């Protein structure tokens, strides 16, 4: 075995077969920007979608040896051994490397188990034991995700400055380029951060975290990571935001990889936009990693789909941090009351009596189903089901506290009889 990475951009790669194996292999070929040609009388719907989108060329018939003309690589993905053998033989004739899913001994190239981690690609061959390759790949992936293995230059040299075999010695240290990533941490369950968010967290030098960020995510940080608790920054809210912006900019200018970790999605009532502007104004590269927002996830965790066919064709997310009629409020509560779909209110617990009253006063029926979900997706999740008329009183009687979302609309009861409420303190 001689490991190689193929640079396939713009090069013809033939895939013979249009079934499940081909469906699994084509995406990685497309990711490598190969010119993928599939030869098969029929295709799975997923492959057909690639064809319809113009990403894959389809030759709708059985394989013919001339299909290999101009190909750099062929992937055999047919069930019939005789058909597979015919492709192999034609490829051998033309000295084109041939991957065979059905028979690794007949193949002239093996595909490794792969994991991709940002710019890093890890490929593992199990010496004829694919399950072992997958197990090793998974172990490496887990360590990359958790940050136990970062593979960054500082760690490539031993304590004595020695370089392990096969690793190019690092040149003079690169000039550090700082950057800021605004990362959505998800609604509360630490498993609901995105894969990219978790990777950037594992690579961070500095993490600036919010109150709503799942603690377990911070628990995993390497000891040398500087953790800035944004909730502990003194001064009033406005000054605190300026101070957070200043920390982001300062650390990035000093060359750090900064992760600004925010509950839910960074741009949903999270002031992420202000932080992005502050970084941009200071000339610092800033990226945003979207997060699973509590406005959708907390209802879902309580068995409430924000839309449902035949029940709600819209959902609206609003902030309830200001009461209706407040001079600074940008929310048109009378318009919301006229909508028939789902209304999700964040930061609305304190103003819930006024919000419910405004919706009723402007015409939303008082028997509209309503629910309050506290600490959705976490072990402490609590759910109160009620109606527009009574939800404020019920939430108060149940001792519901922030963070909580309030959901109004028929979707609240759509699944409730079929799905048991699994929340620990579910009412």
Nearer of residues 18 and 264 to ligand SAH, judged by Cβ? 264
Note whether 96 binds ligand SAH by CB under 6 A: no
For residues 26 and 47, what is the distance between their CA atoms, to the nearest angstrom?
8
Q: Which helix (H) or strand (E) holds 58?
A: strand 56-59
Give the one residue of 23, 377, 386, 414 binding ligand SAH; rule: CB under 6 A.
Answer: 377
Our finding on whether 318 is near ligand SAH (CB under 6 A) is no
Q: Residue 325 Cβ, how far from ligand SAH at the closest point, in Å?
A: 20
Among 346, 358, 383, 412, binds ligand SAH (CB under 6 A): 346
Of 178 and 188, CB closest to ligand SAH: 188
Q: Which of 214, 263, 303, 369 binds ligand SAH (CB under 6 A)?
A: 263
Work out which of 47, 101, 212, 407 binds ligand SAH, going by CB under 6 A: 212
Nearer to ligand SAH, 85 or 189 (CB): 189
When asked if residue 373 is in the footprint of ligand SAH (CB under 6 A), the reply is yes
The minimum distance between CB 74 and ligand SAH, in angstroms, equals 47
Establish if 398 lies at the interface with ligand SAH (CB under 6 A): no
Q: Where are the alpha helices (DSSP H) in 32-129?
A: 45-52, 81-94
Q: Beta 404-408 vs 369-374: how paired, if at all?
A: antiparallel
Q: Using the rule CB under 6 A, is 386 a contact of ligand SAH? A: no
Cβ burial, residue 1 (10 Å; 0-12/13-18/19+): exposed
By CB under 6 A, residue 303 contacts ligand SAH: no
E strand or H helix that includes residue 315: strand 315-319
Does residue 204 interact with ligand SAH by CB under 6 A?
Answer: no
Instruction: Give me the catalytic one of 105, 160, 219, 232.
Output: 232
Q: Which stretch binds ligand SAH (CB under 6 A): 78-86, 145-153, 306-314, 400-408?
A: 400-408
List the one residue out of 351, 354, 383 whose CA is nearest residue 370.
Answer: 383
Biggest CA-to-CA distance, the chain? 81
Listed ranges 17-25, 133-141, 376-384, 387-395: which one lies at the site for ligand SAH (CB under 6 A): 376-384
Site string for ligand SAH, 104-143 (x = CB under 6 A): ----------------------------------------
Q: Rounded to an integer, what distance in angstroms lies between the CA atom of residue 218 and that of residue 228?
A: 11
Is 405 among the residues that bind ligand SAH (CB under 6 A)?
A: yes
Least distance between ligand SAH and beta carbon 269 (Å): 4
247 φ, ψ (degrees, to nearest 5): -60, -45
Q: Does 384 bind ligand SAH (CB under 6 A)?
A: no
Asked if 232 is an active-site residue, the reply is: yes
Within 10 angstroms of residue 409's Cβ, the number of other Cβ atoms is: 29
Calpha distance 346→212 (Å, rounded):
13
Select 178 or 184, whichever has its Cβ closest to ligand SAH. 184
**Nearest of 241, 245, 237, 189 to residue 212 by alpha carbon:** 189
Q: Decide if residue 356 touches ligand SAH (CB under 6 A).
A: no
Residue of this chain nearest to ligand SAH (CB atom): 264
Give whichever of 112 and 187 is closer to ligand SAH, judged by the CB atom.
187
In the region spanning residues 163 to 202, those forming contacts with ligand SAH, defined by CB under 6 A, are 187-188
The reply to whether 376 sits near ligand SAH by the rule CB under 6 A is yes
How does DSSP assign 241-299, residue by residue?
Answer: HHHHHHHHHHHHHTT-EEEEEESB-TTSSS-HHHHHHHHHHTT--EEEE----HHHHHH
13-45: burial string, b at 16+ Cβ within 10 Å, e else: bbbbbbeebbbebbeebbeeebbbbbbbeebbe
Q: Does the active-site annotation cover 410?
A: no
φ and ψ of 229, to 5 deg? -90, 105
CB-nearer residue toward ligand SAH: 294 or 342 = 294
Distance CA 308, CA 311 (A): 5
Separation between Cα atoms, residue 44 and residue 25, nearest integer Å: 13
Binding status of residue 403 toward ligand SAH by CB under 6 A = yes
Please tell me whether residue 293 binds ligand SAH under the rule CB under 6 A.
yes
For ligand SAH, the closer of residues 94 and 271 by Cβ is 271
* Distance between CA atoms of residues 305 and 301, nearest Å: 9
Of the residues 67, 205, 210, 265, which is catalytic?
Answer: 210
Q: Residue 2's CB: how many other CB atoms inside 10 A? A: 4
Q: How far apart are CA 420 and CA 410, in angstroms?
A: 17
Task: Tell the smallest beta-carbon distance from residue 342 to ligand SAH (Å).
Answer: 15
Active site residues: 210, 232
Binding site for ligand SAH (CB under 6 A): 187-188, 212, 263-265, 268-270, 293-295, 298, 346-347, 373, 375-378, 402-405
């Amino acid at each position: 075995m001689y490991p190689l990475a193929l640079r396939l951009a713009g090069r013809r790669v033939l895939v013979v077969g249009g079934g499940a194996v081909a469906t699994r292999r084509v995406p990685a070929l497309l990711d490598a920007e190969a010119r993928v040609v599939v030869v098969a009388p029929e295709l799975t719907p997923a492959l057909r979608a690639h064809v319809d989108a113009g990403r894959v060329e389809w030759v709708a018939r059985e394989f013919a040896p001339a299909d290999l003309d101009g190909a750099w690589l062929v992937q055999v993905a047919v069930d019939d051994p005789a058909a597979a053998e015919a492709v192999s033989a034609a490829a051998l004739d033309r000295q084109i490397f041939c991957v065979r899913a059905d028979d690794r001994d007949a193949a002239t190239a093996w595909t490794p188990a792969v994991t991709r981690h940002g710019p890093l690609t890890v490929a593992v061959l199990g010496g004829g034991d694919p399950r072992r390759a997958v197990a090793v790949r998974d172990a490496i992936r887990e360590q990359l995700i958790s940050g136990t293995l970062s593979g960054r230059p500082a760690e490539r040299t031993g304590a004595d400055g020695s370089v392990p075999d096969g690793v190019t010695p690092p040149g003079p240290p690169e000039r550090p380029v700082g950057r800021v990533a605004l990362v959505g941490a998800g609604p509360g369950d630490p498993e609901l951060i995105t894969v990219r968010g978790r990777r950037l967290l594992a690579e961070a030098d500095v993490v600036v975290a919010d109150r709503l960020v799942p603690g377990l995510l911070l628990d995993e940080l390497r000891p040398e990571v500087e953790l800035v608790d944004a909730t502990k920054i003194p001064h009033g809210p406005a000054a605190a935001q300026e101070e957070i912006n200043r920390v982001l900019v300062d650390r990035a200018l000093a060359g750090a990889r900064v992760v600004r970790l925010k509950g839910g999605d960074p741009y949903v009532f999270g002031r992420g936009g202000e932080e992005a502007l502050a970084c941009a104004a200071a000339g610092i590269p800033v990226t945003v990693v979207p997060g699973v927002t509590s406005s959708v996830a907390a209802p879902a965790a309580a068995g409430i789909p924000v839309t449902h066919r035949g029940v709600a064709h819209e959902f609206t997310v609003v902030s309830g941090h200001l009461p209706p009629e407040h001079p600074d409020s940008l929310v048109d509560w009378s318009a919301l009351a006229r909508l028939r779909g789902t209304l999700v209110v964040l930061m609305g617990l304190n103003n819930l009596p006024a919000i419910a009253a405004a919706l009723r006063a402007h015409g939303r029926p008082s028997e509209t189903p309503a629910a309050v979900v506290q600490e959705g997706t976490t072990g402490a999740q609590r759910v109160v089901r009620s109606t527009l008329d009574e939800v404020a009183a019920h939430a108060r009687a149940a001792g519901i506290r922030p963070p909580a979302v309030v959901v109004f609309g028929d979707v609240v009861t759509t699944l409730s009889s079929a799905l048991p409420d699994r929340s620990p303190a579910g009412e």
